[in-house]
Amino acid sequence: MNSRVGIVIVSHSPDVARGTADMVRQMVGNEVPLGWCGGNPDGGLGTSVEKILGAIDAAWSDAGVAILVDLGGAETNSEMAIEMLPEERQAKAVLINAPIVEGAIMAATESWGGGSLDEVRLTAEELAPR
């Protein structure tokens, strides 16, 4: 199991999710667990709790996962996905309030450097508008 915090990218657009994940990989390589998803079950714009759960599983780490979302529906579905996780995992899955692309890169960089889940969250959230 990876000891670095995992990063999860949830977008309404599959292309935005995939592109953001590609940028993260180019910045930090494969050492940070990464999961992403986008689109509704029919392939259109939207999000899916099932896809989010799959992305969380793909990025899971004993250090936890930081979830970045693009719009309100992605946040709501990510909250539902966290609630559906086994109880021991729920406390290790946090939503990050940051711009999705910049936040994912900053969160992944902090994770790559060995930051804790709280440090990853705080680093990414420094980007949030005040």
N- to C-terminal Cα distance for the chain?
36
Other Cβ atoms less than 10 A from the Cβ of 3: the count is 10
Let me know: does 98 contact 125? Beta carbons within 8 Å. yes
Give me the count of residues in the chain.
Answer: 130
Let me know: does 7 contact 65? Beta carbons within 8 Å. yes
- CA trace torsion 40, 81, 79, 129 (10° rounding): -60
**44 labelled catalytic:** no
Given the residues 4, 12, 51, 92, select the one marked as catalytic: 12
SS3 42: coil
What residues act catalytically? 12
